[in-house]
């Protein structure tokens, strides 16, 4: 049983979002980088839980990025990955990234591919579906629970206004969100062990990048809060109806 977990590097959730170079580049100065929370807390930790239940499970990690993503990969290895791949390229296009992941996945014959539900920086929620299509595999998006019974996966996923339970045979691509697993902190043994785990670097395969980022914008600042006295909440209701027209 082999699981491939897709890992992405994102700014910390509290990072200041600003841009440089005439609003064409994210301002990286002083930014703390983390493993995309959905990739780490849900995708990777659920894979680790499956390995704890069945020690024959092998967990591989993949990330598409330049050498500066390696601390993030080492952290993921410290949490519990067995081996990692880094495709040496820098891209924000989901199709380009998915093409690289699909190429590594083809060589590895994985039973399961886990991604986070989206990255917290580009929020495209696209890589899981694209990888699945490139490999012609079923894709279950936005999973909140994942159970395995032999070669059949039972997955709970979010739908509008509730949830549904879906069954599929492996191999399978799943995007993971809250509910799949609980956040963990790597222990010292894991951190020491991660230093010597294999991290294979490869060059990207030729793939198109159908989109490119032209520029960024930050939303206009709010005009400021209109405060209503605490003893007159009826005034708030009136403003919401007559001024804001939202009720």
Positions in 144-183 near another protein (CB under 8 A): 144, 154, 158-169, 178-179
Site string for another protein, 59-98 (x = CB under 8 A): -----------------------------------xx--x
Among 1, 31, 121, 202, binds another protein (CB under 8 A): 121
Minimum distance from residue 34 beta carbon to another protein (Å): 12
- Is residue 170 within 8 A of residue 151, CB to CB? The reply is yes
Give the integer Cα–Cα distance in Å for 191 and 151: 32
Q: Does residue 120 sit in helix, strand or coil?
A: coil
From the CB of 43, what's the least distance to another protein, in Å? 13
What Rg value do the Cα atoms of the chain yield, rounded?
A: 21
114 is a site residue for another protein (CB under 8 A): no
Nearer to another protein, 94 or 199 (CB): 94
Q: Pairing relation of β-strands 33-35 and 9-11?
A: antiparallel
Query: Does 14 sit near another protein (CB under 8 A)?
Result: yes
Q: Where does 68-143 have alpha helices with state H? A: 70-79, 94-108, 127-135
Stretch that binds another protein, among 54-62, 76-84, 133-141, 187-195 (CB under 8 A): 133-141
- Orientation of helix 94-108 relative to helix 127-135, angle to 10°: 50
């Amino acid at each position: 049983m082999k699981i491939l977990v897709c890992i992405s590097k994102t700014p910390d959730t509290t990072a200041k979002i600003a841009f440089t170079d005439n609003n064409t580049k994210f301002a990286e100065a002083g930014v703390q980088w983390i493993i995309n929370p959905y990739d780490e807390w849900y995708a990777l930790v659920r894979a680790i839980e499956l390995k704890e239940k069945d020690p024959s499970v092998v967990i591989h990690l993949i990330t598409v990025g330049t050498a500066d993503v390696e601390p993030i990969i080492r952290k993921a290895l410290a949490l519990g990955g067995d081996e990692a791949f880094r495709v040496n390229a820098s891209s924000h296009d989901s199709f380009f990234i998915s093409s690289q992941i699909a190429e590594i996945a083809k060589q590895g014959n994985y039973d399961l591919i886990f991604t986070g539900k989206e990255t917290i920086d580009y929020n495209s929620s696209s890589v899981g579906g694209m990888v699945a299509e490139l490999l012609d595999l079923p894709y279950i998006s936005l999973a909140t629970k994942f159970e395995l019974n032999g070669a059949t996966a039972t997955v709970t996923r979010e739908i509008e206004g509730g949830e549904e339970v879906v069954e599929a045979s492996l191999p399978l691509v799943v995007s993971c969100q809250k509910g799949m697993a609980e956040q963990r902190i790597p222990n010292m043994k894991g951190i020491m062990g991660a230093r010597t785990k294999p991290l294979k670097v490869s060059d990207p395969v030729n793939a198109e990048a159908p989109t490119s980022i032209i520029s960024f914008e930050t939303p206009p600042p709010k005009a400021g809060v209109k405060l209503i006295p605490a003893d007159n909440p009826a005034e708030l209701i009136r403003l919401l109806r007559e001024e804001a027209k939202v009720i």
